[in-house]
Copies of this chain bind each other. A is one copy, B any other.
Amino acid sequence: MDAQALLEAVRFNEQGLVPAIAQDAETGEILMVAYMNKDTLRQTLETGRMTYWSRSRQEVWVKGATSGHTQEVREVRIDCDGDVLLFKVKQNGGAACHTGHRSCFYRKLEGDRLVEADAPVFDPAQVYRK
C-alpha cells in the first residue's frame, strides 16, 4: 500500500501518535486499540503487518513478534476528522490480548460489576515465558 495519501490525512496528537483500532475483518469483533506514530504507521502499510508504538516501552511494537499472534492488514480506514485509524485485520494465533483473551475488550459491565465476558484462548505464562 502506498502510504502517502493516508499519512497526509492523519492528524497525529501532541505526542505524535494516533489511536489505531484493530477489528477482526471476518467477524467485526474489536480486538484491541493501540497507538501508532508516523514511522510505525508507514511500516504497517509497507509490511501489511500491524506495527504499533508502545507507549509504555517507548519502542516499535510489531504485534505478535513475541507471541506469534500477528495481525495482517486487510483494510485501512480513517475517520472524518483524521484522528483515529481503523484497521480490519486477520488475527493470527487466535488472540490479540496479552492476557490470553481473543479481544482486549473481554470485560463487560453487568449491573454494578465488571465480568469476564469471554474466556481466554491461551495461557500467557506459556506464550510469554523466557
Q: Give the interface of A toward B (CB within 8 A).
A: 1-2, 4-6, 9, 19, 21, 23, 27-30, 32-33, 45, 75-81, 84, 86, 97-99, 101, 104-109, 111-114, 117
- Further 5 A-B residue pairs, CB within 8 A, beyond A1-B111, A4-B112, A75-B109: A1-B112, A2-B111, A21-B30, A77-B106, A78-B114
Tell me the complex Cα distance, A34–B18, Å: 13
Q: Which residue of B lies closest to A115 (CB)?
A: B5
Tell me the complex Cα distance, A55–B113, Å: 29
Q: Which residue of B lies closest to A113 (CB)?
A: B5
> What B residues does A6 contact at CB under 8 A?
109, 114
Whether the Cβ atoms of A97 and B112 lie closer than 8 Å is no
Tell me the complex Cα distance, A76–B28, Å: 16
> What B residues does A2 contact at CB under 8 A?
111-112
> What B residues does A23 contact at CB under 8 A?
30
